Structure formats: C-alpha cells, structure tokens
Amino acid sequence: MRWGILAFLFVAIFINFVDKSLIGYAAVPIMEEFNLSYVQWGLVGSSFFWVFSISGVIGAGLSDRIGSKKMLSILLMSWTVLQFGAYAIVGFPMLILYRVLLGISEGPFTPTGYAHLRKWFPPQSRGKAFSIFNSGATLGALVAAPIIVFMIENTGWRTTFASLGLLSFIWVIPWMLIAKEKPKDSMSWSEPTTTSGKLKWSEISPIILSPTCIFVLLSCFASFWFTTWSAVWLPTYLIQVIHLTTMQMGYAAAAIGVAGAIISILVSSVSDRLFEKNQNYRKSRVFIGATTMVMGALLLYASMSVNSAVLVVIFLCLAKGCITSVLAITPQILIHLLPERSGFMSSLGTSFMNFSGMISPIVSGYFLKIAGDNITLGFNYALFFNIGLLVIVAVLFSIFARPDKPKKIGWNSADNVSVS
C-alpha cells in the first residue's frame, strides 16, 4: 500500500508543479495580451509566493490536527476551483489575484505530502521516497512542457489552465475512496508519533533557532531560487537567449525535467545507503546535500560558458538534478529534528524556500531591466547571483549543520529530541 500512496502523491505533486509552471510557458502570449514589462512579469511570478509561506505553515499545522489525507483532498479541490477561474482573468490586477490565491491553496501541499509519506516509510528509505515524490515536481514543471506548449498554442492559455483544474478533480475521487491515513499495523521503526497539542514557542524555539535548522532552511532557500527561476524564466531564456523555437523549448524543458528527476533519485539513493550504513545525518544528508549544491552551481556556470545549444541543455539537465536533490534531503533533516511535528517542521522548509520564490522572479526581472536591450547579459546576472548563493550557502551548511549532535529540548507530549 505504501507504494500506492507514493504513486498518488507523485501524481498530485506532478499536477501541483504543472499548475505552478503553466505561467512560465504562457509568458509570451500573456505578456503580449496585457502588454506587460519584464518587471511586471517578475511580479506575476513572485505573487504566487506572497502568502504561500504563511499558508504553508498554517495549512501543514492544520493537517497535523485533521489528518494529512483529508487536508490533501481539500487542497486538490481548491486547485480545481481556481484553475477554472482563469476565464475571469482580464488584466494585470486579476492575473496577480489569481496567482496569489493559487499560492495560498498550494502552500500547504508539499509539507503535508512529506508528513503523509513519513507515516508510510521508515527513515532508512525516506530519501528515495521523498526523491521520487519530488521528481513528480520536476516532471510536472518541465516534462509536461511539450503538451502544455501545444495546448497553449492551439486552445489558448485560459483553457489550458482550466484543463489542469479538471485533472486535480479527477485525482481527488480515487484518493478519497482508496487512500489511507496511515498503515493499519504499528510502525516497525521507533519515532515519536504526531501530536495534536498546541505548539509553544518556548519549546520549539531552541530547535528552530539552532544552527542546524537555520542552515537547512538557507539551503532550501538557495536551492529553490533556481527552481523558481526555472518555472518563471527558463522558457523565456531558452527562446530569447538560446534561440530555440517554441516547440524546441518544450522538448528541451522536458529533457531537463527527466534528467533532473533521474539524477535526484540517484543522489537520494546514495544518501539513503550511507544513512543505512552509518545512521548519521551529517555524513549521509548534510555532506551529500552540500556537495550537490556546489556541483549544481558549477554546472550552471558551465552552461553559461558554452555556445552550443545542445551543451547548454545538457549542463542545465545536470544542474537541475543536483539542485533538486537538495530539496529531497533537507526535509528529512527538519523532520528528524522534531518528528512528532513532522507537518509543521517540513512546512518550515517549504515555506522558507518559497520565500526565495517570492524574491527570485522580481530580482531576475530587475536584472533584465538593468541590462537594457542586452537580454543575454540580464539573464547572466541572474544566473551568476544564483551560483554565488548556492556556493556560499553550501559551505556554511557543511560547516554548521550538525543534526546528530544531542541537545535536550523539553516537550510536554513526546520524547526529547536531538538537535544542535
């Protein structure tokens, strides 16, 4: 049953990230229809994340109370309503409102998904499970590109948006009928169970403000910066800088998605094997995550240093896989810090990294504005910024994140936990 649950959530996050990335593939027709500048388009991309982080924390905390299965059903139904609302978009303000509301409804999904998977998979196999789950995001954001581009060109962007709403509605029906909240048998691994008691700042602040938690959150921030850039700006970059046609862009994005998903799963499998061997989060999670962040940064730089469109796409494939793998590793560390609040802790990670999603599109838009008519220079500025961010955070993460170092934290409803 656990693999069936994972399959359900894989499809759900696939839909989730197609929803997120639709706006990027529809960038050219929407900008032309509403006469938007690069800065305005950056605001459109950013608006999705304005309330995303807050809704993520609140929604994931609510899922700890009402159950992750029920919460996921509510979220998917809300996507259906909002995607059909695309027909009401008639200008820039309505486009912003649509993106804000979609962000609110999608904010709690990823942390709730992590919390649900935690109930079904033991620690030594969560890396692979989380990576497969995350690969649905990569596939949704990029692999669906040729189909999405074809639909936008032939049916219009509003109808394409509504089609995704229908897809999420179809998902909810079997999920409600078949899926279970947790396994019937008691878990064979020893971890504190999720508690529905109220959170007290005095009890969780030593964990949240610890160097380990802070640098895990910064790693989420740096890695998701590129994920957001890919969703909002990559299609435009491939067309206007690499000079691909619209359909070539779709196929290139699909290749980046497939390669990224495969590499992410391979990296997470290596991390899982190391953890199974030494039961050490620093060696198996922190060092692997920091290494892949640096490799991703170097591969991004390599993509900017070649003239061949094929080589650019290859380097972007490799970079995407390395950077995406970090987003499968970090939630495991956060949940380890306070496993009885798995929904809340994973929501901190997703909310913090999506804070970077709120900033990233705007910063890229301003880089393009500063560069003037030299679009290539503007995109290079944006990529160099991301490269520097990844390298700096990776070094700090490898030095200060020590999730295996014990420090007793009082908790009135569960056992003490370890955190540096």
323, pLDDT greater than 50: yes
Give the pTM.
0.74
Task: Please state, in angstroms and rounded to a whole number, the distance separating the CA atoms of residues 230 and 264.
Answer: 16
**List of residues 6+ apart from 97 with CB closer than 8 A:** none
* Averaged pLDDT for residues 73-91: 94
* Averaged pLDDT for residues 402-411: 60
Placement of tokens 């696939």 in the chain: 14
Phi and psi (nearest 5°) for 243? 65, 40
- The reported pLDDT for the residue numbered 401 is 92
pLDDT band per the 50, 70, 90 thresholds, residue 326: very high
- The reported pLDDT for the residue numbered 74 is 95
- At position 138, the amino acid (one-letter code) is T
Single out the residue of 183, 178, 272, 184 nearest to residue 2, CA to CA: 183
Distance (Å) of CA 53 to CA 110, 204, 304:
11, 18, 32
Phi and psi (nearest 5°) for 106? -100, -15
Which of residues 215 and 335 earns the better pLDDT score? 215
378, pLDDT greater than 80: yes
414, pLDDT greater than 50: no
Query: How crowded is residue 414: how many other Cβ atoms within 10 Å of its Cβ?
Result: 16
Return the top range by mean pLDDT from 26-30, 54-58, 142-146.
Answer: 26-30
Q: What is the mean pLDDT of the chain?
A: 86
291, pLDDT greater than 80: yes
State the DSSP code for 165. H
pLDDT band per the 50, 70, 90 thresholds, residue 412: very low
Task: Please state, in angstroms and rounded to a whole number, the distance separating the CA atoms of residues 108 and 54.
Answer: 9
Task: Please state, in angstroms and rounded to a whole number, the distance separating the CA atoms of residues 145 and 247.
Answer: 9
Return the top range by mean pLDDT from 76-85, 328-337, 411-420.
Answer: 76-85
Phi and psi (nearest 5°) for 411? -150, 125
DSSP 329-364: HHHHHHHHHSGGGHHHHHHHHHHHHHHHHHHHHHHH
* Averaged pLDDT for residues 300-306: 96
pLDDT band per the 50, 70, 90 thresholds, residue 20: confident
Task: Please state, in angstroms and rounded to a whole number, the distance separating the CA atoms of residues 277 and 70.
Answer: 36
pLDDT band per the 50, 70, 90 thresholds, residue 276: confident
State the DSSP code for 36. -
Check: CB of residue 393 under 8 Å from CB of residue 222.
Answer: yes
Check: CB of residue 394 under 8 Å from CB of residue 293.
Answer: yes
- The reported pLDDT for the residue numbered 17 is 84
- The reported pLDDT for the residue numbered 143 is 72
Single out the residue of 57, 61, 71 nearest to residue 12, CA to CA: 71
Collapsing DSSP to helix, strand or coil, 396 comes out as: helix
pLDDT band per the 50, 70, 90 thresholds, residue 410: very low
Kindly report, residue by residue over 4-13, the tens digit of the pLDDT: 999 999 999 9
Collapsing DSSP to helix, strand or coil, 91 comes out as: coil
Kindly report, residue by residue over 221-257, the tens digit of the pLDDT: 999 999 889 888 998 899 999 999 988 998 998 888 8
Kindly report, residue by residue over 154-206, the tens digit of the pLDDT: 999 999 999 999 999 999 999 999 988 888 764 555 555 555 556 677 777 88
- The reported pLDDT for the residue numbered 248 is 92
Single out the residue of 130, 55, 190 nearest to residue 333, CA to CA: 130
* Averaged pLDDT for residues 87-92: 93
Domains, the chain, with CATH or none: 2-180+209-400 (1.20.1250.20)
Single out the residue of 265, 219, 171, 136 nearest to residue 395, CA to CA: 219
